């Protein structure tokens, strides 16, 4: 019986952590995927690629304003990143600077995650809470009680955003260094590999905190 209970709890935590990452996939991974596919696979220019990748953040931001009269923070950050990227592409004539510029995407997102976490308003919470609560009133109340009375829960909430932010900022730093130390032809494919590796590491580390939070929410709701 203990084995069955433990297995069920593990599956529940994994499912909750995976669900918590869905907003990240929609608001961050999809725009990044569109950008890199358009730029690296189809050979579109930087401005055209960034403009295409802005479609999802624009729709999500506008939909949030119209439907909920609130701002989708992740989508808004991606929109700002794309606008900054378009501005930088206008002055990036050096091919190595063009490669290093791609790191601005990760650095702005990662930096935003770190700053908001340190300020006590973690960026990732906007997407994390709905998928841990799953629209259940008892879980929503449990979340509120844990946020009010559990330092460990708040620490995991903060660390979830810090983990993702640190991974993305590190990926940016590595990309900038490599852009000026390895051949440009190598960075064409290595840049994408670094991004995929960073996202994979973010999922692994973030799951640790999201899984613990999911377990606490379920236990508190019960």
Q: CA 9, 15, 19: angle at the middle one, nearest 5?
A: 145
The residue range of the domain holding 174 is 2-221
Residue 71: predicted pLDDT: 62
pLDDT averaged over consecutive 10-residue blocks of the chain (222 residues)?
45 49 63 77 75 73 70 64 65 65 74 90 84 87 93 94 92 88 78 80 89 92 86
Residue 213: predicted pLDDT: 93
Residue 7: predicted pLDDT: 47
Assess contact for 78 and 52: CB atoms under 8 A.
no
Count CB atoms within 10 A of the CB of residue 125.
20
Assess contact for 217 and 152: CB atoms under 8 A.
no
- Token pair listed for 155: 């620490």
**Pick from 41, 66, 65, 64: nearest CA to 53:** 41
Residue 89: predicted pLDDT: 61
- Distance in angstroms between the alpha carbons of the first and the last residue of the chain: 19
Residue 142: predicted pLDDT: 93
**Pick from 115, 200, 160: nearest CA to 16:** 160
Q: Give the chain's length.
A: 222
Number of domains in the chain: 1
| pTM listed for this prediction | 0.65
């Amino acid at each position: 019986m203990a084995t069955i209970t433990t297995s069920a709890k593990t599956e529940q935590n994994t499912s909750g952590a995976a669900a918590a990452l869905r907003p990240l996939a929609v608001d961050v991974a999809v725009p990044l995927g569109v950008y890199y596919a358009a730029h690296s696979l189809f050979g579109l220019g930087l401005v055209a690629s960034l403009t295409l990748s802005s479609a999802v953040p624009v729709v999500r931001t506008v939909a949030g304003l119209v439907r909920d009269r609130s701002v989708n923070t992740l989508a808004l950050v991606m929109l700002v990143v794309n606008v900054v990227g378009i501005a930088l592409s206008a002055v990036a004539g050096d091919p190595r600077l063009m490669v290093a510029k791609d790191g601005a995407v990760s650095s702005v997102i990662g930096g935003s995650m770190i700053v908001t976490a340190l300020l006590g308003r973690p960026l990732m919470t906007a997407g994390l809470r709905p998928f841990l609560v799953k629209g259940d009133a008892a879980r929503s109340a449990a979340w509120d009680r844990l946020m009010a009375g559990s330092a460990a829960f708040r620490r995991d909430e903060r660390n979830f955003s810090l983990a993702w932010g640190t991974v993305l900022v590190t990926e940016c730093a590595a990309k900038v260094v490599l852009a000026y130390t390895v051949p440009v032809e190598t960075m064409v494919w290595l840049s994408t590999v670094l991004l995929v590796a960073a996202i994979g590491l973010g999922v692994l580390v973030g799951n640790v905190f999201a899984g613990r939070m999911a377990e606490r929410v379920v236990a508190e709701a019960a």
